Amino acid sequence: MRRDRPPVRGWTAGALAGGLLALAAVTGPPADPRTEPAAATANSATVYYSTKTRNWSSTYLHYAPNGGSWTTVPGTRMQAACTDWVKLTVDLGSATGLQATFNNGVGTWDNNGGQNYALGTGDITVKDGVVAHSNPCADPGPGTGQSATVYYSSQSLGWTTVNLHYQPAGGSWTAVPGIGMQAACTGWWKQTVDLGSATSLKAAFNNGNGTWDNNNGADYTIPSGTSTVKNNAVTAGAADPCAPQQPDTQAPGVPSGVTASATGTSVVTSWQPSTDNVGVTGYQVTRTGGTKGTTVTDVTSTVLSDTGLEANTAYSYTVRAVDAAGNISAASAAARVTTGSAPEPTTGTPLGTDPRKDPIYFVLTARFNDGDSSNNRGGSQHVKSGNAANDDPMFRGDFKGLVDKLDYIKGLGFSAVWITPVVLNRSDYDYHGYHGYDFYKVDARLESAGASYQDLIDAAHAKGMKIYQDVVYNHSSRWGAKGLFTPTVYGVRDSQWSWYYDAKNEGFEYDGLTVDPQSGKSYYNGDLWSTAEPTGNTCLNWGKPTGGKSAEGYTVYNCQWPSPTSGMFPKAYYHQCWIGNWEGEDSRSCWLHEDLADLNTESAPVQNYLIGAYNKYIDMGVDGFRVDTAVHIPRVTWNRRFLPAIHDRVAQRFGAQAADNFFVFGEVAAFVNDKWNRGSPNHSAQFYTWKERREYSADDTAAALEQYDYEQQQGTGNQPTSTNAFLNGNSYHAPDHSKFSGMNVIDMRMHMNFGDAYNAFSNGKDSDDSYNDATYNVVYVDSHDYGPNKSSTRYTGGTDAWAENMSLMWTFRGIPTLYYGSEIEFQKGARIDCGPTCPLATTGRAYFGDHLKGSLTVSDFSKVDSASGQVATTLSRPLVKHVQRLNQIRRAIPALQMGQYSTDGISGGMAYKRRYTSGGTDSFALVTVSGGATYTGIPNGTYRDAVTGDVRTVTGGTLSVAAPGKGNLRVYVLDGPGKIGADGPYLK
């Protein structure tokens, strides 16, 4: 059947032109004036079309100048140009390009798969769907001397056309945009240039539509012969990147430095990375010993955590390296180890479900609820801080107290609990958990008989609740990390310092809880100091007076306190500088604070130590990690080492689906109100949700610097984008997570703007295309660090504003998270943290357990059957009722949990539509918070409001909703269940 028009023209000319202008605005002009695109000489285009693969007797060009009208079908007949090519010159008038389709005049079309061809000016070729800027019929002239064959990699750019704009040394530049390069192989383009008597050329590359790579304004200098240009680097005398690769027959180097250490019946084996001519892809670890015989385990990192071994048994471990070709190195020297006594069996298994289903309740474990007073500890600052006067030791809450009140959290409707770090801490004021000392040991001040960390995990899982463990990879305590490196400081028990330095007790080991019989303190430091210079000391001027005095007027000595610049912390384990620029590279490789020794996370021994430690907690069955200070570690280190190690360990222990749903969310602290943190991609939250897009040096330290420089040069306008959070019209589409790094993030931009819900909503929307998938963002108003706009106090906007914030968080994309006590506006307006300079009772980290006294019975999430005592009063508060019902509604509507969203066709303030489709589930919801809204272009059908039960029948694609009032909302669900839960103070 003859068609009167081509099948689909795709974009309108106006939309296309707008898109190109937007692209030009983002990419900007090239810095070198010789690479500036010249104006179109006569606003014309000569279009060459290849007929080689077409059996057409004639060819027509059907076109529309940008902003103009289409020619009459079938268009204008093209003329023969040279072998396999036809051409037509088009007068564009004032237009700077055209849309085009081609046909044979009798109904057979080439319209670029329905999108049309977007063509510019000058000479343009269209061959097999590929557009380039060149004249295929031009006479190249005789070769008179030197030539250069240039291969260009567009892998990191995504260009579908590449032009070479060049100038032989001493000659003239080609006309902009240059000559079209030919596709050579995947990701590579090729062009041979006749240089005449020149021995090199200057070059820039472009995609034919105004986007240039001119080596950041310097152009590329390319010699004669064969060269490659990739990621701003020219390699002269290069091998053909498209030539068949010679088979790799070279085995990797033998792994060295293999060590094995046992904790109970678990063994951590680690080794130094091997080298290879191409690259090592993994390792085979062979274990011998015990009654189970020989086992071989494949790993991708340089650490293996081997668990469930026989007690008091000798084992031997050897390691072989493997490359991509399957070559295997010889075995390493054996590392031998003997296990200890069998510990209590671990029973934890992660729940393994989609984390977006689970709203999060965040607690500082030591400040939430006290279940066992025998493990309370005040520390060295107990009196000075004022805590002693309040009978409020810093370590007060514990796992037993949390287990006892899991039903309270479940009664609020939360199914995930984020807890502060559990590892053994060591500093003067370490109740919060961020001063890790022994990463392999749970802090005894949190555990009790019958209430170990494992008991907490198991108890939560029995109630259908997840445990997210706060973890720290960036730093240890100021005293180092036990099992990795702990510094010895200078100390002397003279008349000035005997109060500070505990007498050494060779039989005593610090665990935070046990009281040293000599000093009478649990915060014992006798193992940390020495008057005599220790063997192997690298600290400068050991024990010599600095010339300074302490606050008490005492003499201060060199090496008396840890300092990164004194040589006390070897660079193999720790960085050796202070942060000078919080938005500079040094923020990723220097110390945050004197109490936080910055781990050298690019060092293999450090990586092995941390991976082995956190494998232990994965094995216990935790459901995810909240990553502290994630921005202070280079993304390439996360992507190369830590994130794959987490995923591999969960998959190894619990399967692939559990690994995919193990929730890792990072604190990428960007305390600004704009999309990008002061224009720096490397310091912005969304940056950490993406994989790397180019290769870097094998050395992790070098790679970190290369990555930083490369991404800063790319700038914010050239970062990857995603539609994973957005509906396509009214339709849900399968998200693309192929470029996902493995780390989700806390939504810092919404957090900073939650002084007003509408500001948070507007700012959140503006950022969502730059995350890999914003539906996984963790969203909160305030936390243990800051309130909105980097406020130092807990949120004090008022109950109505809190209700409005909650209504937005529970229905907009992302995972709603509440800091403990916010459901009763606990400590509103109080300073969140002032260290030991004021009592904890006066801060945002005050003890909460007094509000939880009494008993309660819970039958399901958000369903409290009975309560008595103070907890009954707590549960009667208006925001408690509000969050309970919000959790009921969110739990019943999949679109509110995992759905994509859109604001297209919607008038109103905080109003949006969300949809989630999977298998037999199709959930579509219309939401408005506080204000009224009108939805147009929506599917017809029956909509039921989950708040009021109101029923609306839509026949014309439009639904209008009156304003429900501040803090209230409406959730109209297509074919929905109707009213969910009972009316409360806000949802009614």
% of the chain surpassing 90 pLDDT: 76
Residue position matching structure tokens 């290769």:
695
**CA dist list (Å): 726 to 374, 812, 832, 904:** 52, 12, 36, 10
**CA dist list (Å): 124 to 49, 66, 99, 135, 938:** 9, 16, 12, 7, 42
Q: Which of 35-49, 205-219, 617-631, 874-888 has the lowest mean pLDDT?
A: 35-49
> Could you tell me which residue, 434 or 132, shows the higher pLDDT?
434
Alpha carbons 659 and 352: distance in angstroms, whole number: 8
Residue 707 pLDDT greater than 70, yes or no: yes
Best CA proximity match to 687, nearest among 624, 749, 734: 749
Note the pLDDT of residue 141.
54
Residue 19 pLDDT greater than 70, yes or no: no
**pLDDT level of residue 599 (50, 70, 90 thresholds):** very high
pLDDT 10s digits, 133-191:
778 887 655 555 789 999 999 877 778 889 999 999 988 999 888 998 988 898 899 99
Structure tokens at 21: 């202008």
| Beta carbons of 63 and 98 less than 8 angstroms apart | yes
Structure tokens at 378: 């005040």
Note the pLDDT of residue 282.
87
Best CA proximity match to 206, nearest among 238, 253, 159, 242: 159
Residue 606 pLDDT greater than 60, yes or no: yes
Task: Give the helix, strand, coil percentages of the chain, each rounded to 5.
Answer: 20, 30, 50
Structure tokens at 626: 């909240």
**At 126, is the secondary structure helix, strand, or coil?**
strand
Residue 38 pLDDT greater than 90, yes or no: no
Best CA proximity match to 268, nearest among 641, 600, 610, 623: 610
Note the pLDDT of residue 156.
73
Best CA proximity match to 718, nearest among 8, 157, 22, 224: 157
Note the pLDDT of residue 140.
58
Note the pLDDT of residue 7.
32
Would you state the torsion angle of the CA atoms of residues 557, 559, 565, 567, taken in this order, to the nearest 10 degrees?
140
Best CA proximity match to 757, nearest among 638, 639, 909: 909
The one-letter amino acid at 875 = L
**CA dist list (Å): 282 to 181, 304, 647:** 38, 12, 15
- ω before 343 within 30° of 0 (cis)? no
Note the pLDDT of residue 357.
98
| Beta carbons of 463 and 407 less than 8 angstroms apart | yes
- Alpha helix ranges (H) inside 548-699: 604-619, 635-637, 643-654, 656-661
| Cβ neighbours of residue 853 closer than 8 Å, sequence gap 6 or more | 869, 870, 871
Note the pLDDT of residue 112.
87
The one-letter amino acid at 435 = H
Residue 559 pLDDT greater than 60, yes or no: yes
The one-letter amino acid at 789 = N
Would you state the torsion angle of the CA atoms of residues 532, 536, 537, 538, taken in this order, to the nearest 10 degrees?
160
**pLDDT level of residue 272 (50, 70, 90 thresholds):** confident
Alpha carbons 60 and 109: distance in angstroms, whole number: 9
Residue 8 pLDDT greater than 50, yes or no: no
Alpha carbons 319 and 335: distance in angstroms, whole number: 9
| Cβ neighbours of residue 541 closer than 8 Å, sequence gap 6 or more | 558, 559
pLDDT 10s digits, 916-973:
999 999 999 999 999 999 999 999 999 999 999 999 999 999 999 999 999 999 999 9
Alpha carbons 109 and 61: distance in angstroms, whole number: 10
**pLDDT level of residue 99 (50, 70, 90 thresholds):** very high
Residue 10 pLDDT greater than 60, yes or no: no
Residue 576 pLDDT greater than 50, yes or no: yes
> Taking residues 416-421, what's their average pLDDT?
98
Structure tokens at 118: 């977007």
Best CA proximity match to 971, nearest among 952, 943, 945, 940: 945
**pLDDT level of residue 470 (50, 70, 90 thresholds):** very high
Alpha carbons 353 and 662: distance in angstroms, whole number: 8
Note the pLDDT of residue 753.
96
Best CA proximity match to 101, nearest among 92, 91, 111: 111
pLDDT 10s digits, 829-857:
999 999 999 999 999 999 999 999 999 99
Best CA proximity match to 578, nearest among 562, 565, 566: 565
**At 72, is the secondary structure helix, strand, or coil?**
coil
Alpha carbons 812 and 808: distance in angstroms, whole number: 6
> Taking residues 487-507, what's their average pLDDT?
94
Best CA proximity match to 749, nearest among 723, 781, 791, 792: 781
| Beta carbons of 157 and 208 less than 8 angstroms apart | no
pTM for the full model?
0.76
Residue 874, H or E segment: helix 870-875
Which one-letter DSSP state was computed for residue 803? H
| Beta carbons of 625 and 646 less than 8 angstroms apart | yes
Note the pLDDT of residue 42.
59
Alpha carbons 146 and 196: distance in angstroms, whole number: 5
Residue 537, judged by CB atoms within 10 A of its CB (0-12, 13-18, 19+), counts as middle
Residue 214 pLDDT greater than 70, yes or no: yes
| Cβ neighbours of residue 58 closer than 8 Å, sequence gap 6 or more | 77, 104, 105
**pLDDT level of residue 122 (50, 70, 90 thresholds):** confident
Counts for the chain of helices (H) and strands (E), in that order = 16, 52
What's the angle, vertex CA 37, arms to CA 35 and CA 39, rounded to 5? 145
> Could you tell me which residue, 197 or 957, shows the higher pLDDT?
957
What ranges make up the beta strands (E) of 307-354? 314-323, 335-338
Note the pLDDT of residue 508.
94
CA atoms within 13 A on the CB side of 285: 25
Residue 916, H or E segment: strand 906-918
Residue 31 pLDDT greater than 90, yes or no: no
Residue 389, judged by CB atoms within 10 A of its CB (0-12, 13-18, 19+), counts as exposed
**At 849, is the secondary structure helix, strand, or coil?**
helix
Structure tokens at 154: 């567009």
| Cβ neighbours of residue 716 closer than 8 Å, sequence gap 6 or more | 675, 676, 679, 681, 684
Q: Largest alpha-carbon pair distance within the chain?
A: 106
% of the chain surpassing 70 pLDDT: 95
Best CA proximity match to 266, nearest among 440, 436, 425, 452: 440
**CA dist list (Å): 176 to 40, 209, 210, 214, 465:** 9, 11, 10, 13, 62
Mean pLDDT (the chain) is: 91
Best CA proximity match to 501, nearest among 482, 514, 478, 518: 518
Residue position matching structure tokens 């990375």:
273
Note the pLDDT of residue 419.
98
Alpha carbons 663 and 622: distance in angstroms, whole number: 10
